[in-house]
Chains A and B, each alone.
Chain A
Amino acid sequence: MGEWGSLLAPWQWAIMAALPVLLVLLYFLKLKRQPVEVPSTYLWKKSIEDLHVNSIWQRLRRNLLLFLQLMVLLLAILALLIPYWGEGTTSGERYIFLVDNSASMSANDVAPSRLAAAKSQLNRFLEEQKRPQDAVMIISFSDTARVVQEFTTSAAECLAALERIQPTSRRTSINDALSYAAGLVNTTRASDVPEDEQAPEPLSAKLWILSDGNFTAPSFPLGNLEASYVPLGQSDVENLAIVAFSASRPDDRSEQLQIFGRVENHGREDRTTLAQLFVDGQPVDVQQVEVPAGKSAGVVFNLRQAETAVLEMRLDVDDALAADNAAWAVINPPRRGKVLLVTPGNRPLEFALQTPRAQAIADLLIESPDFLSTEEYRQAALAGLFDLIIYDRCLPEPAAGSTDALTPMPQSNCWFIGLPPKLPEWGWKPGAAWPPNKVVGPQIIDLERAHPIMQLLDVERLLIAQATVLTPPSGSVTLMDAIALQAAEGNGEPQRVEVPVFAIAPRRGYEDAVLAFEIISDDGSANTDWIKRRSFAVMVLNVLQYLAGGPNQGGAESLRPGQPVELQVATAGEQVTVVTPTGREVTVPRSPGNIFRCLDTDELGVYDVRSEGNTVERFAVNLFDSQESNLKPRAELDFEWNKVQATADTRPQPRAGWKILLLAALFVLLFEWYIYNRRVYL
């Protein structure tokens, strides 16, 4: 029970206190006596003489009606006060409102939209229930959370903040919002020292979640947050949604474009609808989709398609959520990678890099190791002009010419053949001999077949003469493992050791692959019989596709709303312009590594990336979220630690005592009426 003594302003208390006094005064003043003419007051006077003799207080004491009326009045006053009983504190209550503005909140099953309904609920709270000393904080959340209003006691600020909450097309994740709220309330990072008086007191707050609950409730201890959940939306809402839409070229028919879409029915009834396909805004095909209730169905379009196109699929339905009735996919022009091969001479590799398939992927530039010491190389390596640099039995030279220094790594992916880079991660120590120890006759025992580079490779009984001992850095993937003979120190017997012979490791946004054995030795002889096998060319192609950024065979991957996109655009300019689906232009500056990072991807649809006025690339942003499209509001939120049941709205639930008091007042009133009419005396 909290204090409710200070809930009312003094003048309000005065009014409350004055009411019973007023009632008693009315009794004294007898203001409302009704005149009745009687034959004679003679007998009445005689009758009331006895009552008059007693003092006025005694008279009052005998007046049961007055006491009953006073009782009704007091009960009514109490009933008025009780709703705030135990909820109010002298310092005011703290309220935190989490307002969901994810895509599903744009559903119009509650007119005009669920978000508008949430706002009006909050609005009503601010105007009707918020007491002046209550502090309110408003956080909007979709896949991220945003504090739109810090704790404030000003209702006007809150109302202004409410206007700032706009619907988004994003997914829902309440985690951030809960963390914000809990961070302000639960002092988990309080001082370890129990006597520390600086440690903040944990403060409780009321947490209102205004949402449709269409998110995976995280396991979250609410602590001092007294959570309530106001579900928005109707449970019998109908919604058809496109949850997947992509285009790909089948391997066997590369001129064909296979377009695949998936439609889910989140309603209660089976639905049949038309799926229309648009290419560059023109309708080209239409199919009928039959989606049973609660199930999904696929749509496949086959198209002879030009190099670049914007594909759009629309469902011909009118349902609660419009955002998931259209989906977009983009076929971008193929972008060729740039590969620099630095080699003293390696014909099999050069040959493998110049097959028609390889040429389709990347342009090849072959240089001798001398090129590494030129200024031209340094510039190109620094600017990241190449997607992949292959160092065959050579390493880029340190700038100052000191051989002990680290290998300067270029701003691109690298493939080292026969010689790992002089980096501490790869086992290099200052002053140590390089390359490190060698092993003889490694036999491949294991392949990491899941890695794209290792796909479709047949390396059975591969013969390798010599290999360098690799110490791959942490975080690397060993692509090939082998057992080899290592010469013992001194004159002992050679030992069989397991060594990695092909590994790939990430390096600040790039990846370095290291092949531990040479392909062609310096003397021109082959170090392995791999070059005679078909799998060698396949491996080289895999490396090209993986490290040189081979062209997308199908459409570009779809992005989710709000997801940042990294654009690799071949442009000389320092910035590109991204045109959003609504025609807004966003200027994106060049980031290090020849990358343009665009964060403004909140709108659904196709974004144009323009450089110097020409469209150089496109990407599509789609909702594609089954959870968002499932509009049925949840009945409760399960935070694992706490279950939050749905409540109708933000009004405080009347306490049981409130009803009982009013009922008691009613009974007393009835009793009073009975006594008044029947003139019973107890």
Chain B
Amino acid sequence: MPTDAPLLSPSFLAQLERLELVTRKVFRGRMKGERRSKRKGQSVEFADFRNYVPGDDLRFIDWNTYARLDRLFLKMFLEEEDLHFYALIDASRSMDFGNPTKLHYAKQLAAALGFVGLVRADRVRIETLGSAGTRPGPTLRGRASVWRMLDYLDQVQPGDGVPLAKGVRDFCLRNKGQGVVVLISDLLDKAGYEEALRYLVARQMDTYVIQVFSQEELDPDLVGDLKLVDSEDGDIAEITVSAPLLKRYKETLDAFVGSVREFCGRRGMTHILAHNQLPPEQLVVNYLRRRGLVR
């Protein structure tokens, strides 16, 4: 799949139309949406009764119950609200590898999920990590904003290295609201991924971590005596490729992914491992649906 392919294909869009974002937590929205809110309010969906206290809006008194029991009860409805959906794309240089690049893959995922959110009248905001100078993405709402979202995604380029933790912290500072956040990254940061994830936990957001690797990282196609140069900090690792080394690498990789999964699991986050050869359709429609992000 070439990197310059459109982020969303029409058939994919058709599939996405039927989906909606789900959150295990119920947040307070700011505007009326299509989603139940914790707040009881004016809507068609009945929730509960409660005793009338002076000052309540008389419009919500259930007169039928008053007639039968001669007591005043207030009818409460579940208010439907919108959902805040944040997609965090790691745009560090390490994401600029693979075919398609991991970044492109991440954009596709973000676009797909954002589209679902927009279609369902959720508030969608896409932000990038790693590029310090880039402006934060606009908050989008409504189906009409799909093209703005895609425009924004098109502008995202692999940027200068910003530590993962700093990027996530900036994101948290900028966005006070709660909601669903999907972090799309390879989490390959020498300072560690734990701090970054802790910020998200602290905001009590419904966090999904989609860890993306390229095929080359999962199964390195390297031969000989090599000097590996880190794309982000220029760090050098000299290796002589041998079967034990490759075995060791895979063990390390598995251990790393395992540690991330465990970290997320303990903190109520969902970890999803993806690689750039897995079609985004499949990931969204199958994997994410199974993990409860979409429905």
Contacts and interface: CB of A to CB of B under 8 A. Distances in A.
Nearest to A32: B225
A681 B217 contact: no
Nearest to A46: B252
Interface in B79-114: 93-97, 102
Contacts of B13: none
A2 interface: no
Given A41-B236, A46-B252, A679-B223, A36 B245 contact: no
A39 B214 contact: yes
Contacts of A677: 223
B196 interface: no
Interface string A40-51: 111111111011
B226 A34 contact: yes
Interface string B198-225: 0000000000000000101100001111
A50 B242 CA distance: 14
A460 interface: no
A475 interface: no
B97 A65 contact: no
A41 B237 contact: yes
A38 B244 CA distance: 20
B158 to A, nearest CB: 11
Contacts of B186: 39-40
B222 A681 contact: no
A14 interface: no
B253 A43 contact: yes
B238 A36 contact: no
B238 A38 contact: no
A676 B242 CA distance: 7
Interface residues of A, number: 29
Contacts of B229: 35-38, 41
A41 B226 CA distance: 12
B246 A44 contact: no
A36 B95 contact: no
Contacts of A51: 244-245, 248
> Could you say which interface size class chain B belongs to?
35 or more
Contact of A34 (B227, B236, B248, B252): B227
A48 B242 contact: no
Contacts of B144: none
| Max chain B C-beta neighbours (<10 A), residue from A47, A63, A65 | A47
A679 B236 CA distance: 22
A357 interface: no
Interface in A341-357: none
B235 interface: yes
A62 B247 CA distance: 14
A30 B238 CA distance: 9
Nearest to B229: A37
B227 A41 contact: no
A44 B229 CA distance: 10
A38 B228 contact: yes
A65 to B, nearest CB: 7
B188 interface: yes
A491 to B, nearest CB: 129
A196 to B, nearest CB: 68
A38 B245 contact: no
A41 B253 contact: no
A117 interface: no
Contacts of B216: 38
B225 A44 contact: no
B242 A65 contact: yes
B259 to A, nearest CB: 11
A432 interface: no
A36 B226 contact: yes
B77 interface: no
A680 interface: yes
A64 interface: yes
B47 interface: no
Nearest to A36: B226
| Max chain A C-beta neighbours (<10 A), residue from B93, B238, B241 | B238
B134 interface: no
Contacts of B242: 62-65, 679, 681
| Max chain A C-beta neighbours (<10 A), residue from B216, B240, B248, B253 | B240
Interface in B173-191: 186, 188-190
Interface in A287-346: none
Contact of B222 (A36, A41, A50, A680): A36
A62 B95 CA distance: 34
B244 A41 contact: no
Contact of A47 (B188, B232, B252): B252
A681 B244 contact: yes
B66 to A, nearest CB: 68
A673 to B, nearest CB: 11
Nearest to A48: B239
Given A65-B240, A679-B243, A36 B248 contact: no
Nearest to B188: A40
Given A48-B239, A679-B242, A36 B227 contact: yes
B3 interface: no
B236 to A, nearest CB: 7
A508 interface: no
Interface of B: 93-97, 102, 186, 188-190, 214, 216-217, 222-232, 235-246, 248-249, 251-253, 256
Given A42-B188, A46-B256, 20 more contacts: A33-B238, A34-B224, A35-B226, A35-B227, A35-B229, A36-B227, A39-B96, A39-B214, A39-B217, A39-B231, A40-B186, A40-B190, A40-B232, A41-B235, A44-B239, A47-B249, A47-B251, A51-B245, A62-B242, A64-B242
Closest 3 A-B residue pairs measured CB to CB? A681-B243, A39-B94, A40-B188
6 contacts: A34-B226, A34-B227, A38-B231, A40-B186, A43-B253, A44-B237
Interface of A: 30, 32-48, 50-51, 62-65, 676-677, 679-681
